[in-house]
Structure 1
Amino acid sequence: MISHSYSWALSIFLLFHPSLSDENPSNVSCIESEKFALLEFKNDLTDGGNRLLSWNSSNEDCCKWYGITCNNQTGHVSEIHLRGSDHRFGGELNPSLLNMTSLVYLDLSCNDFGGNPIPTFIGSLHTLTYLNLSMSRFSGEIPSQLGNLSMLRVLSVHNVYRSVHNVYRSDQYAQKVKSLWWLSGLSSLRHLDMSGVTLGKVFDWSQVNRILPSSLVELYFSSCGLPPIRPGSALDNLSLLSILDLSDNNFSTNSIPSWISSLSSLVSLNLANCDFSGPIPAGLMNMVSLITIDLSNNQLTSIQTMLNSSPGNICNLREINLSWNKFNGKSLLEVLTSLFKCESSKLESLRFAASGLSGYLPPQLGNMKNLVHIDLNSNSISGSIPDSLGNLQSLQTLELKSNSISGPLPDSIGRLSSLLRMHLPYNSITGPLPDSLGRLSSLERLDISNNEINGTLPQSVGQLTKLMILNIRNNLLTGVVTEDHFANLTSLTNLLADANMLRLQISANNWEPPFRLQILILNSWSLGPKFPSWLQNQTNLSILYLASTGISDNIPSWFSTTLLSLQYLNLSDNNLSSVSLKDLFCSKIDAEQKQVIYLNLGNTNLSGVLPDCWGAWGTLKLLNFQNNNLTGEIPRSLASLMTGKANPNKIVLLAGNEFMGSAWLVLKGREIGYSSNLGLVTFLDLSGNDLSGVIPSEITRLVELKYLNFSGNRLTGRMPEKIGDMKELEALDLSMNELEGMVPLSMSSLSFLNWLNLSYNNLTGRIPSSTQLQSFEDWSFVGNRLCGAPVRLGCERRQGEKVGEVGEGGGGPDWRLVISIVVGFVVGFWIVVAPLMVSKAWRVSYFQFMCDIWYKFYDFVVKYSSNKNVSL
């Protein structure tokens, strides 16, 4: 819809400004004074892309300079086109532009003026008919002097990025106005775009007819913070209005105002994301001039007016977007019935994503030959895809994600010669894939993941020369995949095919794929036993997942020196026992280039000692070496990595190895700066190793830790007293160690704890009381000498114990508490009683005070009882 809006804007402006479509070169040289004014203007600009190299005094004719157009009869500069590109202009705007006495066109959009305000002198360029300052990182107040530009026909100061589906406001460079009354001076204005400018405090719906010029043809007030539309307010003064965009304003669940249907010239209407509720007004669907309508992302509940519309009234519609509303229970056939009655449907875009629609895909869809986009994602549509869909020769996008579509893909789908994107994931599509997929010569993205598709992968897929993304993961595909399946996939960048039962069989040892992948996910394929040598030329890979692929081989030497772009690597559940850990992790070539975020080598039969070279791996968020045969001490550089500042939310899995050494060294890593680097790990698993010593108290500084597992080591000493400071802890496993002493009282403050295992240690005493701790089963504490709920052993005195003593943990009376209570009572008693014994005046005052209290209480009871007619 946005692209249509701008095409309308361009065509309408060209009607009012025919000189823009006349590209005749200048026949005369530019005016000398204007040449020097332009040079002065350039001096205050920054030009990172050197686009203004032609702007120099030695280049005499400024009419031939970059971005300059002159009147071919007078030589005056008439137009300045300095719209930003990859290299934006910056700096400041010099008022030398005031020397351009015939300037009618000024475009400084999409630049970077660093938050400077729009200069007021622009309001003195009285000859301007076109002014575009949008998205140039101006901020502050838009000057009211712009209201002096009475000849202006196009004014764009919008501050939003527009895409096909979304509008993004640049809050960093916010713009506002003190008043909107200056707009009334723009009597020639046809196009006004103030999207993203804060207008909420100055906008008054009751005054809008007097403020906005009646000449307006296009009005964009998207994302302006407009106030709710008041009943009775209208834009009926704008009889020429053809485009109205009020999207991304919060109108506080008002219904769509009925006066919109009185705008008889309206061609395009955008009310997306406005928090409108209730039904769609009846008049809206009877606007025969309407071509595009976007009411998406609201709270609309009824589409009955569309169902009841006369076919002639909506047959002109080309784009309709009612996605993200609440039309629960309506079938797609019901919704489209009126459109199906059109003799010749002009509809190009049909979007009803996440709108609560049900039913099936009606075969009549195949009769809407002009359809370019279908988006029915996230509904409850069932049944199969009809054969008639193959008739839509103009269709470019087919979006049916997250429905209940079943049955096989029809062979007719291969006739969609214009199709660019087909997204069908999260359905129940079955059967083998048709060979006709190979005829989709324009296809760029194919996503059929998370279905129940079986059979083999058609070899014809290899003919899709424009295919960039292929996602077939989580299906039931079987059989052999050869190099012929990839023969012509020269554009392929993303291949996601895991969770199938496919086997890759490459006949040539020197096979070089025709593609350069960025993402490759082949988990659960059969690739082994040799490590795939064809990966050597995939130097653009950022994600490589080859888990459970039957590889039983050494990782080749080229791996760590060639794949320098890797960020996510998963080789888990393979046999990499002969790999050289030093070569893999300590390559000098890429020591400063590693950007790995996710490293999973769990259950790969790795053995040996981890090298101490982890300083270059500071970007890691997940590190998984669990269930291997690694030995020795955990390297200090790796321990520092666990607690480093550089990258928060780390998950460290080292369980199931044979690491030795002190737990203190594991956590401490390095002496210097330790205390300032803690607090960022969220998941730490060192279980099943041979760690010894005490649990260092510094571990309690890992305040973001959610999962801690030290089970199956040889840890001794007491649990850290301040373990309760780890407020985010959800799972704690310290079982099968040699810990002793009491369970710290601070554990009672771990309110998020939902998994606890302290079994088989030497803990003693009473289990602290808290809602969480008493909710666990007794097996969480078995193998200790603990008492109190939830274990069955009570904390009363047992044989052989002295009075007031329960085991080692002191589960009997807390003598410090008892003494404190006694001392407090004695002190408090004598503070009150001693003065009464010593001073007669105090005694008199005290008893007088008590008498006053008694009489006030007595009066209150008597009055209350009499009001209730109750006798004492």
Structure 2
Amino acid sequence: MIGTIFLLFFSISSSSYTYASLTLCRPDQRDALLEFKSEFNDEGIQGAWTSFCVTSSPKRKSWENNTDCCYWDGITCDANSGVVIGVDLSSSCLHGHFKPDSSLFRLQYLRSLNLAYNDFNASSIPTRINELTGLQRLNLSYTSFSGEIPTEILHLTKLVSLDLSSIFMYSQTLSSPRKPFLSQLAQNLTNLRQLDLSHVNLSSEMPQMMISNLTSLRSIRLHGCNLFGRFPRLSPTIRSIDLSVNPHLESSLPEFNGRKIPSSIGNLSHLNILDFGYNNLAGEIPTALFNLTKLSSLSLASNHFTGTLPHNITSLSNLNIFHAASNSFFGTVPSTFFNIPCLESLDLGDNQFSGPLEIGNISSMSKLQSLVLSKNNLTGPIPTSISKLVNLVYLDLSYLNTRGPLDVGIFWHLKSLQQLTLSHINTTIARIDLNAVLSLPLKSLSILDLSGSHVSVENMRSSVSTLLSQLIYLFLSGCGITVFPEFISSLQYISMIDLSNNSIKGQVPAWLWRLPELHYAELSYNAINGFKEFPKDVSRTMMTDLFHNASAISSRGVANNHLTGKLPDVFLNDCNLRSLNVGSKHGAQQNQRHFPILVRILTRATPTSPPLQ
């Protein structure tokens, strides 16, 4: 009997001990987290922040009193002491002012804090951030913090990763304090491996001692920071560099001759990401750059680079992205680009490349998804081997001079295409057969742009195959079209149509206004003389069906046509009509329901447009 009682007591004690060992969370840590949770709400997030907000399963939903905080979503605890060492509330719909004395600062054992993609409503970063002395990783990116970065953040000497990057479109962003912030950062945060201050207004030079002090630095991203001066010597161990959109940088690497890239860049043997886009760099690209065999992403876009691209580009066997658009490169496009096994995105648009486009023999399955060769001086037919790029999603061959008819059949096998841009193609006398384009089995195609190309609509069918019925954007501006393309009536998902700058005669067909998803129809600069049919019922229900069920037909441009007589009441009774610009002062003074020959109609204009008087 005594033995049974002892075993029962031992069993209960063991059970109690096991339960206690599973309960890690310290009460003071749990209370601090619950208080932090109450400081914000899920409502009020708007604009760009809504796309970051994961409302379906917010992390804080599991944060309940009388439960173990170490098992809450986004929380990591030390297995022995039960203190909270990690908080990850990224994309958690936090909205509101970040309190200077937030309870978060009671979690003094934190090693990792991630509050990215929340909306703190232009709050300042609290100076008490320096109380989290154990922080190794701090991510406050895309949080709408504003004002000066507190120098107290430089007391976090254990940081290995610091991300304060912000959204470029946001009017209130972070800026550096009056003192030379980058110099102080290099002196204090010597353990940094990753640094991202993109879109922080630093307005400073790059200190020469910055990289020499940060010997552990592997990734530096200072995109759009308003930097100037010379960039210091880089450590050979650096792996990722983004200095794009700093047009006042005199140089972006040491030993520059003016604004040229030096051959010494070849010493950065561990580099896998290099972005010099949108600066004012010039000169030729040193061949040493193409010896960086670990490069996966190289962007030189929107500079003043010139010269030819080497054909030994295949040495960059790990390259996924090569963007060199908007420069002055010339010569032929190296066909060796298409033999790089990992290449997924190639953009050489807006340069001075000339001669025929050669893709060569593609021996293995190409991974290329995006190809942009627009706005060059390329001539000759599109090579048939382009049909082997079966993973293409985006293709832009605008301004190509084919010097003959365009065989659209070469796109037959590109069944992953979502956007096809063949604008301003010079086919000499021949026209692009729109019927042939619409017969392509491109079931994923959502954007088709043939603007400025001569298009043939002879014997045009009245509908498209179900394979092309997913079109959302259609651009046929300046294509020499003389009649309304009837096939558009079968595009049930079409959102934007541009038929401007053609020679379309007659009346606007009634089916145009019945397209359920239409947002925008641009019909200006044609010979349109009226509306074939318009709804007679202008009740609110019909207006709702026309505008709101279609997610709002936001603009109908019919400027510079031959419209005469009375404007349909459906326009004039539209409560969403913001701007109505009649083509002359005389017409504007007439009765608003009667207009002269030239009429321009704009509905739902920009907020700066004056309301209709």
User: TM-score, length-normalised on structure 1?
Assistant: 0.52
- 1:552 is displaced (CA, Å) by 6.9
**Distance in 2 between the 1:491 and 1:576 partners?**
33
Q: 1:592 to 1:473 in 2, by over 3 A?
A: closer
CA contact (8 A) 2:464 2:490 kept: no
What's 1:404 paired with? 328
Is 1:348–2:272 an aligned residue pair? yes
Q: Secondary structure at the match of 1:235?
A: helix
Q: Secondary structure at the match of 2:313?
A: helix
Is 1:595–2:535 an aligned residue pair? no
**Distance in 2 between the 1:615 and 1:536 partners?**
32
CA contact (8 A) 1:382 1:403 kept: yes
What's 2:312 paired with? 388
What's 2:55 paired with? 112
Higher-Rg structure is 1
Q: 1:278 to 1:574 in 2, by over 3 A?
A: closer
Q: Secondary structure at the match of 1:285?
A: helix
What does the per-residue CA deviation read over 1:145-194, in whole Å, with 9 as the maximum and x for residues that have no partner? Answer: xxxx961121123458xxxxxxxxx7x822522415x5554343221123
**Distance in 2 between the 1:131 and 1:543 partners?**
41
What's 1:244 paired with? 162
What's 1:480 paired with? 405
Which AA in structure 2 matches 1:179? D
Equivalence map 1:806-825=2 (5 Å): none
Q: 1:124 to 1:411 in 2, by over 3 A?
A: same
What's 1:322 paired with? 243
What's 1:256 paired with? 181
**Distance in 2 between the 1:510 and 1:127 partners?**
59
Is 1:302–2:226 an aligned residue pair? no
Is 1:174–2:125 an aligned residue pair? no
CA contact (8 A) 1:653 1:686 kept: no
- 1:490 is displaced (CA, Å) by 0.7
What's 2:31 paired with? none
Moved more, 282-291 or 328-337: 328-337
Q: 1:655 to 1:247 in 2, by over 3 A?
A: closer
What's 1:413 paired with? 337
What's 1:157 paired with? 89
Unmatched tracts of structure 2, length 5 or more: 1-17, 25-36, 39-51, 167-173, 600-607
Is 1:216–2:135 an aligned residue pair? yes
**Distance in 2 between the 1:443 and 1:392 partners?**
15
What's 1:651 paired with? 557
**Distance in 2 between the 1:508 and 1:247 partners?**
48
Counterpart among 389, 393, 402 of residue 464 in structure 1: 389
CA contact (8 A) 2:240 2:271 kept: yes
- 1:442 is displaced (CA, Å) by 0.9
Counterpart among 558, 561, 564 of residue 492 in structure 2: 564
**Distance in 1 between the 2:240 and 2:277 partners?**
14
CA contact (8 A) 1:443 1:467 kept: yes
- 1:461 is displaced (CA, Å) by 1.3
**Distance in 2 between the 1:382 and 1:509 partners?**
39
**Distance in 2 between the 1:509 and 1:277 partners?**
54
What's 1:449 paired with? 374
CA contact (8 A) 2:243 2:252 kept: no
CA contact (8 A) 1:228 1:254 kept: no
Q: Secondary structure at the match of 1:320?
A: strand
- 1:551 is displaced (CA, Å) by 5.8
Counterpart among 154, 158, 164 of residue 235 in structure 1: 154
CA contact (8 A) 2:433 2:455 kept: no
- 1:431 is displaced (CA, Å) by 1.9
**Distance in 2 between the 1:127 and 1:677 partners?**
52
**Distance in 1 between the 2:573 and 2:53 partners?**
46
What does the per-residue CA deviation read over 1:241-273, in whole Å, with 9 as the maximum and x for residues that have no partner? Answer: 211223332225653342322433221111222
CA contact (8 A) 2:359 2:385 kept: yes
What's 1:279 paired with? 205
What's 1:681 paired with? 579
**Distance in 2 between the 1:129 and 1:152 partners?**
11
- RMSD over aligned CA atoms reads 4.7
What does the per-residue CA deviation read over 1:815-847, in whole Å, with 9 as the maximum and x for residues that have no partner? Answer: xxxxxxxxxxxxxxxxxxxxxxxxxxxxxxxxx
Q: 1:406 to 1:188 in 2, by over 3 A?
A: same
Q: 1:323 to 1:256 in 2, by over 3 A?
A: farther
Counterpart among 458, 462, 465 of residue 529 in structure 1: 458
CA contact (8 A) 1:340 1:364 kept: yes
- 1:326 is displaced (CA, Å) by 3.5
**Distance in 2 between the 1:422 and 1:444 partners?**
8
CA contact (8 A) 1:478 1:501 kept: yes
Counterpart among 448, 469, 486 of residue 520 in structure 1: 448
CA contact (8 A) 2:518 2:553 kept: no
Q: 1:595 to 1:289 in 2, by over 3 A?
A: same
- 1:467 is displaced (CA, Å) by 0.6
Q: Secondary structure at the match of 1:293?
A: strand
**Distance in 1 between the 2:139 and 2:518 partners?**
43
Which AA in structure 2 matches 1:193? N
- 1:447 is displaced (CA, Å) by 1.5
Q: Secondary structure at the match of 1:480?
A: coil
What's 1:798 paired with? none
What's 2:145 paired with? 225
Which AA in structure 1 matches 2:290? G
**Distance in 1 between the 2:397 and 2:351 partners?**
13
What's 1:194 paired with? 115
**Distance in 2 between the 1:555 and 1:247 partners?**
47
Which AA in structure 2 matches 1:420? E
CA contact (8 A) 2:522 2:557 kept: no
Q: Secondary structure at the match of 1:453?
A: strand
- 1:392 is displaced (CA, Å) by 1.2
What's 1:377 paired with? 301
Q: 1:341 to 1:592 in 2, by over 3 A?
A: closer
CA contact (8 A) 1:315 1:339 kept: no
- 1:422 is displaced (CA, Å) by 1.4
Which AA in structure 1 matches 2:386? V
Q: 1:709 to 1:673 in 2, by over 3 A?
A: closer
Q: 1:498 to 1:256 in 2, by over 3 A?
A: same
Q: 1:728 to 1:405 in 2, by over 3 A?
A: same
Equivalence map 1:657-676=2 (5 Å): 659=564, 661=565, 665-666=566-567, 669-670=568-569
**Distance in 1 between the 2:401 and 2:368 partners?**
23
- 1:603 is displaced (CA, Å) by 4.0
Unmatched tracts of structure 1, length 5 or more: 1-72, 80-92, 95-108, 135-148, 161-169, 619-636, 701-707, 713-726, 730-872
Q: Larger RCO: Structure 1 or Structure 2 (Cα < 8 Å, ≥ 6 residues apart)? A: 2
Counterpart among 419, 422, 425 of residue 500 in structure 1: 425
Equivalence map 1:746-765=2 (5 Å): none
What does the per-residue CA deviation read over 1:485-520, in whole Å, with 9 as the maximum and x for residues that have no partner? Answer: 113101112111111223467799899412132121
**Distance in 1 between the 2:470 and 2:579 partners?**
30
Which AA in structure 2 matches 1:155? V
**Distance in 2 between the 1:276 and 1:477 partners?**
48
What's 1:363 paired with? 287
Q: Secondary structure at the match of 1:430?
A: strand
CA contact (8 A) 1:365 1:388 kept: no
Q: 1:434 to 1:226 in 2, by over 3 A?
A: same
Q: Secondary structure at the match of 1:381?
A: strand
- 1:319 is displaced (CA, Å) by 1.0
**Distance in 2 between the 1:385 and 1:674 partners?**
58
